[in-house]
């Protein structure tokens, strides 16, 4: 197994700042916007962005929720490993809000499809956008694209993109892992 660094800590930080600025351009003071991190690994990115928007760009009261999509996946019973659920925590109304889904890697698009169904349990958003740190653009199974992306990666199917976060994995880095 070999791995190559795609993004180091500084590059991730630059990408996060750029993504934050892009979000501000579109959503201004976030009064009509809510951020939703897709469980499990989109949550780290979502929390980073929220902290950055609040500390660097002085935007207050950003609403952030976590969405678990386990029960909405279409590959239940098809995988070798049983699916394990995570916590959903959405303490606000999504009805008529601009929702930004946040996930670390966009691969086949199936997670986002599940998230689109899952979020309907909480109301009817006005608009839904997608932000991902990594976009594996040639791996899509469904017609889903990100509105905001940190880095586009052309990886073949045998390769894996691994996103590490300081709070969970001890470092900020993105690796391309080959088996």
| Interface positions with another protein (CB under 8 A) | 68, 70-73, 76-78, 81-88, 117-118, 120-123
Label the pairing between strands 173-178 and 160-164.
antiparallel
Between residues 58 and 81, which has the closer beta carbon with respect to another protein? 81
How far apart are CB 111 and another protein at their closest, in Å?
Answer: 15
* Distance, first Cα to last Cα, the chain: 4
How far apart are CB 159 and another protein at their closest, in Å?
Answer: 26
Between residues 44 and 122, which has the closer beta carbon with respect to another protein? 122
Indicate the helix (H) or strand (E) that contains 129. strand 127-136
Between residues 44 and 72, which has the closer beta carbon with respect to another protein? 72
How far apart are CB 158 and another protein at their closest, in Å?
Answer: 25
Strand order in the sheet with 63-67: 63-67, 33-38, 98-106, 127-136, 148-153
């Amino acid at each position: 197994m070999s791995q190559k660094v795609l993004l180091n800590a500084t590059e991730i930080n630059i990408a996060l700042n750029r993504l934050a600025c892009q979000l501000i351009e579109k959503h201004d003071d976030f009064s009509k916007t809510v951020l939703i991190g897709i469980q499990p690994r989109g949550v780290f990115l979502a929390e980073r962005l929220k902290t950055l928007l609040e500390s660097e760009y002085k935007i207050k009261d950003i609403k952030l929720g976590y969405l678990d999509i386990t029960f909405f996946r279409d590959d239940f019973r098809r995988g070798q490993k049983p699916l394990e659920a995570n916590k959903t925590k959405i303490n606000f109304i999504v009805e008529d809000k601009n929702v930004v889904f946040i996930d670390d890697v966009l691969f086949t698009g199936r997670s986002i499809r599940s998230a689109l169904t899952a979020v309907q349990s909480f109301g009817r958003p006005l608009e839904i956008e997608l932000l991902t740190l990594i976009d594996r653009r040639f791996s899509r199974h469904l017609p889903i694209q990100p509105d905001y992306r940190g880095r586009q990666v052309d990886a073949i199917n045998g390769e894996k993109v691994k996103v590490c976060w300081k709070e969970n994995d001890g470092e900020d880095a993105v690796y391309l892992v080959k088996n």
